[in-house]
Amino acid sequence: MDQYLYPYYRRDVELNQTLDREHAIEMLHSCWLKLLEVNKIRSGSHSKASAGSPLYQNVTIGGQNLVDGQPMDAVNPLSYAILESCGRLRSTQPNLSVRYHAGMSNDFLDACVQVIRCGFGMPAFNNDEIVIPEFIKLGIEPQDAYDYAAIG
């Protein structure tokens, strides 16, 4: 999510200043709440085991991009805003996943840990160091392997 929305965030918050960061976070809150409106009726046992009736939506942030064939950290200011928004709202849906890699900044990793400390089970971590090479072994083009998102 931070990758495909960042050009708009950058234009409106960082360049044109038609939107401030706090309003952008408020808009992210609205997005999360809107996603909660969609529901699926499930059995009582499923609802108990799953903390309600989740649709298993997932927002993925962080990770790496390939730039001129070289892996580069993909974390950007919107990554931090999404993380902060989830930490403030503390909603159980959508799930938030962070694509971890060895080159991730300690600042971003610390921000992730602060959200985990809130106690609502997010963000989850996916390890780019494991996932990307396995995708490539399966025949997925490197450009696509570096552009994966978690589901569920």
- Name, in order, each residue with C-beta under 8 angstroms of 90's C-beta and a sequence gap of 6 or more: 118, 120
Q: Is there a cis peptide before residue 123, judged by omega within 30 degrees of 0?
A: yes
68/71 Cα distance (integer angstroms): 8
Confidence (pLDDT) at 49: 77
Q: What is the mean pLDDT of residues 143-149?
A: 96
Q: For residues 24 and 38, which has the higher predicted lDDT (pLDDT)?
A: 24
To the nearest whole percent, how much of the chain has pLDDT over 70? 97
Least confident of 31-35, 51-55, 106-110, 128-132: 51-55
Confidence (pLDDT) at 45: 85
Q: What is the mean pLDDT of residues 116-141?
A: 96
6/31 Cα distance (integer angstroms): 15
